[in-house]
Amino acid sequence: MTIRTLVKNLAAAPDGPVSVSGWVETVRDQKKVQFVVLRDESGAVQLVHPRTDTEEGSQPDATAATISALTTGSFLTVAGELKHDERVKLGGLEVKIGELEVAATALDLPIAEDSSVDKRLDYRWIDLRRPEMNLLFRVQTTFLHALRNWWVEHDFIEIQTPKLMSSPSESRAELFQVPYFETTAYLAQSPQHFKQMAQAAGFGGVFEVGPAFRADPSFTSRHATEFVSVDAEMSWVDSHEDVMAMHEQLLVAGFTAIKQKHGDEIEALFGLEVTVPTTPFPRIPLAEAKSIVAERGYEIPRADADMDPEGERRISEYVKEQYGHEFVFLTDYATSIRPYYHMRHGDDPGLTNSYDLVFNGVEISTGAQREHRIDVLVEQAKDKGLNPDEIGVYLDFFRYGVPPHGGFGMGLSRVIMLLLHQPSIREVTYLFRGPNRLEP
């Protein structure tokens, strides 16, 4: 057989011999002619086979018999003749089957009758064959590639940090404990400590894309127990404004790449137009944001708490109305609801140099300027009820000098979910992990 051609490249190929491989999407087994829609990772093409066994006394048609027995999802390789024909609805071309080889036969698809998200996740490898899922992960690939390009062009260093830790990276809440020889280890909630160690090492800007773990029993559309965290940290910041400026430039780079490479496909499959955000993103102090949503008829249940999901939706509606923007930085969070390592305002120790980034009504990221002065950091840890001895290795970084620095952590799946207007993080995670899901 000839060298395999991806379906997306058939339109540019001349009429003549061609070989395609993929899986069976549909079969139309008619009396005189058979049609198979074959899909690969790049698209779908119609295969055609005029039957030769329709006349009385004719010889058996082995190809026709094979096609009649095909099941949806079976993988094939077909060598045949490519023909461009505007009458063919699927792409204006078809392949007349010459040779057909069944590489793997599929059982009847278990999600054909039950298409609920739980059933689809049980058979995720089949669910991922949908064109929407294929495009979704291509979009994610393009997004991450654009972020990496931006970081590398700005002299950031990529690091890979440990996911087994001797002490918590955030707090003792939401921790997975793991037996580790004669002691106990913890799965990393974030690479926070190690990003900051890179500042002590003089690396300057660093970034990481890797797994993070939260023992959170939530069953919401935005939570997972294992997720991909997109993290960055950089030295010599004057405030969290520097971090926000870096963050928004990254997102502009990522969304620009997505729109350029996938904009038409996203519009065709998801019915959405990708909007590249303008800079600067709107910035609203948290206290002001709470007042705005209160004036619009919604009171945050606890005055001393973070913005809750309904509050995030309300403030996003306001920002879209007032600024025509899908993003908003909520800034100046109270010390009481931020970690001990966030730097506090110089003129108001009750506030921190920190932010949350909300995209289309959902928080996707937290960022801040970090406290780099060891004496202040120790006191802030004590204020939070932490024993400095338990975070001694972390504190050691600062005893040997660390420049002013800041950074953020961002949930990758949340960004893709909100970009493509998907109902749940489960739809956009390759293999979702939650309180009741460890398979496949």
Domain final residue, candidates 49, 70, 104: 104
My answer on whether 205 and 305 are in the same domain is: yes
Overall average pLDDT of the 287-315 stretch: 90
* Domain identity same for 190 and 288: yes
58, pLDDT greater than 80? no
Write the pLDDT tens digit of every residue in 241-287: 999 999 999 999 999 999 999 999 999 999 999 999 999 999 999 99
Please provide the DSSP assignment of 348-392 as one string.
-TTBBSEEEEEETTEEEEEEEEBP--HHHHHHHHHHTT--GGGGH
Is 314 labelled as part of a ligand binding site? no
Band of residue 57 on the pLDDT scale cut at 50, 70, 90: low
Residue 214 annotated as part of some ligand binding site: yes
Supply the pTM of this predicted model: 0.93
In a domain, 178, yes or no: yes
- CATH number for the domain spanning 321: value is 3.30.930.10
For residue 76, tell me if it sits in a domain. Answer: yes
Residue 105 confidence (pLDDT) above 80? yes
Residue the block writes with tokens 């939530």: 218
Mean pLDDT of the chain: 94
Is residue 109 situated within a structural domain?
no
Domain match, 34 and 144 both: no
Residue 154 lies in a domain: yes
Residue 28 lies in a domain: yes
Looking up residue 62, the CATH number of its domain turns out to be: 2.40.50.140
The count of domains in the chain is: 2
Q: For tokens 């993070």, name the residue.
A: 212
Q: Residue 25: inside a domain, yes or no?
A: yes
Residue 366 marked in a binding site: yes
Query: Residues 218, 307: one domain?
Result: yes
- Residues 240, 205 within the same domain: yes
| Dist. CA 205–CA 228, nearest whole Å | 20
Decide: 429 and 413 in contact? Cβ < 8 Å: yes
d(CA 129, CA 43): 11
Does residue 111 fall inside a structural domain?
no
Number of other CB atoms surrounding residue 336 within 10 Å: 12
pLDDT digits (tens, 9 = 90+) for 314-348: 999 999 999 999 999 999 999 999 999 999 998 89
Residues 11 and 138 in one domain: no
Same domain, yes or no: 98 and 139:
no
Question: 414 labelled as ligand-binding?
Answer: yes
Asked if residue 254 belongs to a known ligand binding site, the reply is no
Q: Does residue 46 carry a pLDDT above 90?
A: yes
pLDDT bucket at 170, cuts 50 / 70 / 90: low
* Residues 212 and 199 sit within 8 Å (Cβ to Cβ): no
Provide φ and ψ at 57, rounded to 5°.
85, 0
Its domain, for residue 18, covers: 7-104
Position 90 pLDDT exceeds 60? yes
345 in any annotated domain: yes
Q: Is 377 a residue whose pLDDT tops 70?
A: yes
Whether residue 88 is found in the same domain as residue 181: no
Q: Are residues 41 and 185 in the same domain?
A: no
Q: Is 412 annotated as a binding residue?
A: yes
